[in-house]
């Protein structure tokens, strides 16, 4: 059975003792901005046994989304992860298939599937499962693949042999992501001030965009890949082979002029099953207006 995941690792389901004070400090400093949901279920974020009764193992997986083709140069930009269908649904279906396979092979196993959809510290579990290290931009990086991939988890009440955590940091003295961030959201010590990130402004922030950030978005209308695009490890990124992540045929050809004139009908057609629907037509047009000179 091949589901297309690029890597897999296993760690013991237990309280994240090292991460707890860091998460608490991050929230205390207000780096979550208006993402109130990050303040909820604090205990569940740190202990998978509160998400799955009697959890024993966390299986971490990665799934490549690096596209073969990019948008035209004369376009407002989308985060590459949003080119195709909404990854939440695509990955979750694959995880459910994997869980069903485990249950068929082993018998009665209880578990839950997650992909950026619940209070799970995905990058912490991925690192503990040996998948990669957390870069200065706080994203998980793999030597073979870079960072253009989704993370996903199966939390199971099944005891499995665990992998060795990834302890090396291969960023070294490189500061390309920190230097390139137009809003200075990337802080020292592998931390991102979420309330300053372009992705936060263009996706999460529901109110008016702050005038102080005008001219800093570098034409990003939904999400932002700047810190990934400049990362030297992403020279190893290879195009994905997932048909569901292929963009709508019109998307890559749309110019700034097309985006400036986008109608709700075109929005619905191009983003029918896309994560971009999250910001709604009104949110995307708000972002586009903000990008205009």
d(CA 128, CA 110): 22
Query: DSSP 3-state assignment of 202?
Result: helix
Confidence of residue 164 (pLDDT cuts 50, 70, 90): very high
Confidence of residue 232 (pLDDT cuts 50, 70, 90): very high
Confidence of residue 75 (pLDDT cuts 50, 70, 90): very high
Residue 252 has a pLDDT of 95
Distance of CA 132 to the CA centre of its chain: 15
**58: which 2 tokens?**
């966390």
Give how far Cα 17 sits from Cα of 11, 105, 157, 242, Å.
14, 33, 20, 36
Residue 1 has a pLDDT of 57
**pLDDT higher than threshold 70 for residue 46:** yes
Indicate which residue of 73, 86, 116, 169 is catalytic.
116
Domain boundary assignment for the chain: 7-69+83-156, 176-237+246-291
Average pLDDT across the chain, whole number: 95
DSSP state of 279: G
**pLDDT higher than threshold 80 for residue 129:** yes
**pLDDT higher than threshold 90 for residue 234:** yes
d(CA 284, CA 281): 5
Query: DSSP 3-state assignment of 187?
Result: strand
Instruction: Find the mean pLDDT for residues 178-204.
Output: 95
Confidence of residue 190 (pLDDT cuts 50, 70, 90): confident
Phi and psi at 222, nearest 5°, equal: -155, 110
Instruction: Find the mean pLDDT for residues 255-281.
Output: 96
**pLDDT higher than threshold 70 for residue 109:** yes
Confidence of residue 126 (pLDDT cuts 50, 70, 90): very high
Instruction: Find the mean pLDDT for residues 209-218.
Output: 97
Radius of gyration of the chain (CA): 19
Instruction: Find the mean pLDDT for residues 265-282.
Output: 95
d(CA 279, CA 232): 30
Confidence of residue 217 (pLDDT cuts 50, 70, 90): very high
Tell me what percent of the residues of the chain surpass a pLDDT of 70. 100
Instruction: Find the mean pLDDT for residues 183-188.
Output: 94
Instruction: Find the mean pLDDT for residues 34-45.
Output: 84
Residue 130 has a pLDDT of 98
Query: Contact 140/86 with Cβ under 8 angstroms?
Result: no
Query: Contact 78/221 with Cβ under 8 angstroms?
Result: yes
Q: Sign of torsion, CA 137 194 69 238?
A: positive
Beta carbons within 10 angstroms of residue 248's beta carbon? 16
Tell me the CA end-to-end span of the chain in Å, nearest whole number: 51
Instruction: Find the mean pLDDT for residues 191-212.
Output: 96
Residue entry with tokens 């190893």: 236
Prediction pTM value: 0.95
Instruction: Find the mean pLDDT for residues 238-243.
Output: 97
Query: Contact 148/90 with Cβ under 8 angstroms?
Result: no
Query: DSSP 3-state assignment of 15?
Result: coil
**214: which 2 tokens?**
């005008």
Active-site residue flag, 157: no
Residue 33 has a pLDDT of 87
Tell me: the pLDDT tens digits for 51-68?
A: 999 999 999 999 999 999
Please list the alpha-helical segments (H only) found in the chain: 19-28, 42-46, 87-106, 122-128, 176-180, 198-199, 226-229, 256-260, 264-270, 280-291
Can you name the residues that pair with 60 across neighbouring β-strands?
Answer: 9, 153
Confidence of residue 184 (pLDDT cuts 50, 70, 90): very high
**pLDDT higher than threshold 60 for residue 266:** yes
Residue 40 has a pLDDT of 80
């Amino acid at each position: 059975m091949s589901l297309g995941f690029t890597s897999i690792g296993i760690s013991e389901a237990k309280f994240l003792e090292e991460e707890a004070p860091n998460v608490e400090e991050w929230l205390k400093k207000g780096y979550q901005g208006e993402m109130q949901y990050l303040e909820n279920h604090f205990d569940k974020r740190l202990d998978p046994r509160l998400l799955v009764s009697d959890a024993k193992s966390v299986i971490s997986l990665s799934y490549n989304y690096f596209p073969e083709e990019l948008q035209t140069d004369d376009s407002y930009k989308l985060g590459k992860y949003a080119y195709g269908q909404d990854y939440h649904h695509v990955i979750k279906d694959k995880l459910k298939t994997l869980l069903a396979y485990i249950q068929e092979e082993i018998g009665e196993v209880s578990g839950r599937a997650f992909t950026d959809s619940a209070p799970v510290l995905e990058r912490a579990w991925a690192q503990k499962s040996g998948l990669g290290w957390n870069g200065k931009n706080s994203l998980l990086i793999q030597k073979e693949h870079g960072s253009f991939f989704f993370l996903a988890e199966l939390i199971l009440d099944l005891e499995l042999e665990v992998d060795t955590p990834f302890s090396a940091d291969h960023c070294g003295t490189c500061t390309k992501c920190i230097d390139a961030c137009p809003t200075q959201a990337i802080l020292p010590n592998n931390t991102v001030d979420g309330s300053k990130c372009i992705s936060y402004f263009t996706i999460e922030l529901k109110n008016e965009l702050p005038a102080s950030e005008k001219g800093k978005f570098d034409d990003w209308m939904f999400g932002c890949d700047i810190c990934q695009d400049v990362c030297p490890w992403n020279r190893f990124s290879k195009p994905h082979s997932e048909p569901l992540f292929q963009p709508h045929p019109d998307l890559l050809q749309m110019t700034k002029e097309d985006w400036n004139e986008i109608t709700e009908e075109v929005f619905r057609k191009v983003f029918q099953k896309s994560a971009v629907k999250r910001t709604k037509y009104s949110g995307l047009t708000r972002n586009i207006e903000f990008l205009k000179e």
